[in-house]
Amino acid sequence: MDNMRAGLGLQHIGIIMDGNGRWAKKRGLPRKYGHREGAKTFRRIVEYCDKLGLRYLTVYAFSTENWKRPEDEVNSIMQLLEQYIDEAFERQDENDTVRTRFIGDVSALSETLKEKIARIEQMSQGRTGMTVNVAFNYGGRDELVRAARQLAIQAQQGKLDPQQINEQMLSDHLYTSGQPDPDLIIRPSGEERLSNFLIWQAAYSEFVFMDVLWPDFTPAHLDQALEIFSRRNRRYGQV
């Protein structure tokens, strides 16, 4: 069922891809195997959202806090990202309309990974279909600090009157500038928190928390979340 075109008015979904490590632990496997399965789920959900006609999908892949995880796990995540980008180039299709963007501080990544990220963003830049924002080394608070710093520099240079700063101006300096805020944020895994994900943009998002680990998340679960969303009454502070 094409939920996006069925009158939901939904343009942007955010997904916190959580539960990879627990999925592996339940099966007596190293955590990196959970991340591998989670990467497969990511590809399936991207394809499904594109078929539904979604305009924007933002996935939380690696947070600024995730560097505290075991080195082996972090290295595995970095390798999976490289593999994903390499495979995207191998199977690139002239009919593929999905645009890939990375949001977050990529300066902390390896030179090889930074080059590959720049390459895939450039490759898909002219595409007009769904935009997939991969939040990697991303933190909502870090994003706000970055935006505030940019505005402060403009004010210091005399290009901006601090009294003129408003919500739209700050939004224009976020990674998601020019995109609508997420209508719906989904978090699998049973956890019920944002974990520093899109904290500015999520001011009026609807939340759906699901008790399924990310590697087990299917298009049917997405349909279930969309059904829940369809029953919500979004008032934006009004009566």
**Residues facing 132 on adjacent strands:** 57, 100
The token duo for 205 is 């998002």
Phi, psi of 232 (to 5 degrees): -80, 145
Angstrom distance (rounded) from CA 208 to CA 189: 11
**pLDDT of 125:** 87
* This prediction's pTM: 0.92
Parallel, antiparallel or unpaired: strands 131-138 and 99-103: parallel
Angstrom distance (rounded) from CA 131 to CA 12: 9
Name the one residue in this structure whose structure tokens are 């399965």: 37
**pLDDT of 83:** 87
Active-site residue flag, 18: yes
Would you place residue 128 in the very low, low, confident or very high pLDDT band (cuts 50, 70, 90)?
Answer: confident
- Of the candidates 3, 20, 50, 66, the residue annotated as catalytic is 66
What value does the mean pLDDT take over residues 20-34? 94
| 238 or 132, greater pLDDT | 132
pLDDT at 156 over 90: yes
* Closest C-alpha to 181, from 11, 45, 17: 11
- Of the candidates 2, 3, 18, 142, the residue annotated as catalytic is 18
Parallel, antiparallel or unpaired: strands 206-209 and 184-187: parallel
